[in-house]
A and B are shown apart, each in its own frame.
Chain A
């Protein structure tokens, strides 16, 4: 199975800050990576697919980059509605696997 390692596990940030979350795969997955946002008690929401493609309706302050084993999700200017937990997911092969999550909290 492909292991996905996210860091940091949590980050405290202020509105307007730039936030970067990293995700590392235990083996190369080309660009087959998705990022999800999950708010407490809600279903995950697709933000980024194919490592860098922005899902329709998602604000442009979210961006993704990377290929192979190293990936990044960046929020360019954190907004109040962005405080949530973020997960990466490899979409290359079964079993599909997720990173452990990064909780973005208010500083």
Chain B
């Protein structure tokens, strides 16, 4: 069965940087596009970014475009989210998730990590 485990969350000051990792196992990682989502405390779910199985294409939410970079290492079966110029409003639990069907978003996301808390505060 697929498993996703996030790491790298923590406390960072506004304007700072952080890199999240998502270690994948139990499926052929390179065959699946992957995505990041986030959830601010007490709020709903927000899509952040997506990356194709080969590393392209990539898409971003307007709220993070130009500040966040999604990437993957298919040899290490790991997904990344580099977050720069962090803002207080980026405070959230960040989830990585796997497409249910390899290269299309149409069937949703069937496996999610446990989440990594990112707190942006001075």
Contact = CB atoms under 8 A, between A and B. Distances in A.
- The SS class assigned to the A binding surface is loop
Contact of B108 (A38, A43, A49): A49
B94 to A, nearest CB: 11
Contacts, number: 64
Contacts of B83: none
Contacts of A97: 47
Given A49-B100, A98-B44, A101-B44, A43 B114 contact: yes
A3 to B, nearest CB: 13
A15 interface: no
B35 to A, nearest CB: 8
A50 B101 CA distance: 12
Nearest to A94: B59
A53 B109 CA distance: 13
Interface of B: 35, 37, 44-47, 50, 59, 61-62, 95, 97, 100, 105-110, 112-115
Given A36-B45, A46-B109, A101-B44, 20 more contacts: A32-B105, A34-B107, A38-B45, A42-B114, A43-B112, A44-B37, A44-B109, A49-B100, A49-B107, A94-B47, A95-B59, A95-B62, A96-B47, A96-B50, A96-B105, A97-B47, A98-B45, A98-B46, A100-B44, A101-B45
